[in-house]
């Protein structure tokens, strides 16, 4: 049985329902007058917003009539909007729409309803507006979460294409959609290290890597691939300096930086060297962190990396075979003599200063100084590989 108070409330709700058409028309007019960006939207977008406004006003009337029976109305009112609604206007603009509509209703109901109805409706509108604001925030949060999940999958696909050497114009387009600003001539380097522990959260790590790289003036694409973390850096000719700021986001163990290549299309060369370097890095426990893949050439060659073998043979052994081959004989004898200049001079029947001069020439030609233990090891491996790959010094390196 409906009491007198209940009948009065239902009558008030009926009067409010009759005014919904006028309220919706006034809401659209208020948006057009008070929000400059609203008039710049397309007719279709404005019609969708009008539909949401009409739905919201109708939902408010139903909720006002029976709040318990229509408690989900504030959330359901956005169901009439297409999925693209959140891409058309921002959350800030949505709040402006809600504020404009609520202010319009509060200023208009005095002309549409009896004086006794106005305070009750205004109080109800304030309660309802709070629920609508929470509903709007939920809609945008869900949309952002979906976009974040999609972006993460797209980013993983781009990084996988780079690793597998399948980068083409479509990969560049996808990278651009993810915020990659590198031009066709933007230098790129691939970085590979162990993935952080599972409790760190892969998505948060990727966001942090991109943020720090951006602060360093570089682009970054990041993806987890099993137990390794792969970062593609762009727009930087000194990737090691950038990676030094990213080391905390990797798991324990080596971090290998591939060589710099001209653009994203050539990034497979950098990726291949970085992956091979990560596999070979345990053979050099004292390696810096991060370490460049080219610093691991001897370890990479010993672990089966054919590219590293050919690089050592052509870039280190090859130059030493030019001319009369005295540099090759000198450095070979120096290494066999345990790094002794005097022993080398006696073995070659030359003055020690001549040995020093020739060793300096070796360093200038190859970039490796025989006097450095680490460089001497690289030279030893390069000479061994050069002789295996090119038994005849007069022929070209395979």
Cβ neighbour number for residue 210 with a 10 Å cutoff: 19
Please report, to the nearest 10 degrees, the dihedral formed by the alpha carbons of residues 243, 245, 250, 255 taken in order: 30
Residue 364 reports pLDDT greater than 60? yes
| Rounded Cα distance, 332 and 160, in Å | 43
CB 28 within 8 A of CB 53: yes
What is the reported pLDDT for 3?
Answer: 56
Q: Given CA atoms 103, 108, 110, 112 in this order, what sign does their dihedral have?
A: negative
Give per-residue pLDDT as tens, 212-265.
888 888 888 888 888 899 999 988 888 999 999 999 999 999 999 999 998 888
Average pLDDT of the residues of the chain = 81
| Rounded Cα distance, 296 and 302, in Å | 10
CB 123 within 8 A of CB 117: no
| Rounded Cα distance, 108 and 16, in Å | 12
Residue 198 reports pLDDT greater than 70? no
Quote the radius of gyration of the chain (alpha carbons, Å): 35
Q: Which one of 22-26, 97-101, 104-108, 362-366 scores highest in mean pLDDT?
A: 362-366
Residue 2 reports pLDDT greater than 50? no
Apex CA 247: angle with CA 243 and CA 248, to 5°?
145
Cβ neighbour number for residue 125 with a 10 Å cutoff: 18
- pTM assigned to the model: 0.63
As given in the structure block, the two tokens for residue 187 are 């230098």
Q: Which residue has the higher pLDDT, 359 or 155?
A: 359
Give per-residue pLDDT as tens, 65-123.
877 665 554 555 554 454 555 566 666 677 677 777 777 777 777 777 788 777 887 88
| Rounded Cα distance, 97 and 135, in Å | 14
């Amino acid at each position: 049985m409906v009491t007198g108070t209940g009948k009065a409330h239902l009558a008030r709700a009926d009067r409010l329902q009759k005014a919904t058409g006028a309220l919706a028309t006034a809401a659209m007019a208020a948006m057009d007058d008070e929000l400059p960006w609203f008039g710049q939207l397309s007719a279709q977008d404005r019609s969708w917003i009008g539909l949401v406004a009409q739905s919201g006003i109708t939902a408010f009337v139903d909720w006002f009539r029976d709040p318990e029976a229509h408690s989900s109305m504030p959330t359901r009112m956005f169901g009439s909007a297409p999925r693209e609604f959140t891409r058309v206007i921002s959350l800030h603009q949505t709040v402006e729409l809600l504020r404009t509509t609520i202010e319009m209703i509060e200023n208009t109901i005095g002309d549409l309803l009896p004086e006794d109805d106005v305070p009750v409706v205004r109080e109800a509108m304030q309660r309802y507006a709070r629920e609508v604001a929470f509903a709007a925030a939920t809609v945008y949060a869900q949309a952002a979460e979906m976009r974040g999940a999609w972006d993460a999958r797209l980013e993983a696909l781009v990084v996988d294409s780079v690793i597998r050497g399948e980068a083409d114009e479509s990969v560049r387009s996808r990278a651009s959609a993810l915020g990659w600003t590198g031009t066709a001539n933007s230098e790129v380097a691939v970085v590979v290290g162990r993935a952080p522990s599972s409790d760190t959260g892969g998505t948060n790590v990727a966001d942090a890597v991109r943020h720090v790289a951006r602060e360093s003036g570089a682009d970054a694409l990041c993806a987890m691939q099993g137990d390794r973390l792969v970062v593609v850096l762009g727009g930087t000719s000194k990737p090691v300096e950038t990676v030094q700021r990213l080391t905390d986001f990797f798991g324990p163990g080596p971090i290998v930086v591939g060589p710099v290549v001209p653009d994203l299309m050539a990034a497979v060369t950098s990726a291949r060297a970085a992956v091979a370097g990560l596999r070979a890095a345990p053979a050099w426990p004292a390696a810096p962190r991060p370490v460049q893949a080219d610093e691991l050439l001897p370890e990479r060659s010993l672990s089966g990396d054919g590219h590293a073998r050919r690089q050592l043979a052509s870039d280190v052994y090859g130059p030493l075979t030019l001319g009369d081959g005295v540099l090759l004989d000198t450095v070979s004898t120096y290494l066999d003599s345990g790094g002794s200049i005097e022993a080398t001079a006696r073995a070659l029947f030359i003055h020690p200063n001549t040995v020093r001069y020739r060793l300096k020439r070796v360093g200038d030609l190859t970039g490796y100084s025989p006097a450095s233990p680490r460089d001497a090891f690289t030279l030893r491996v390069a000479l061994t590989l050069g002789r295996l790959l090119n038994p005849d010094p007069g022929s070209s390196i395979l």
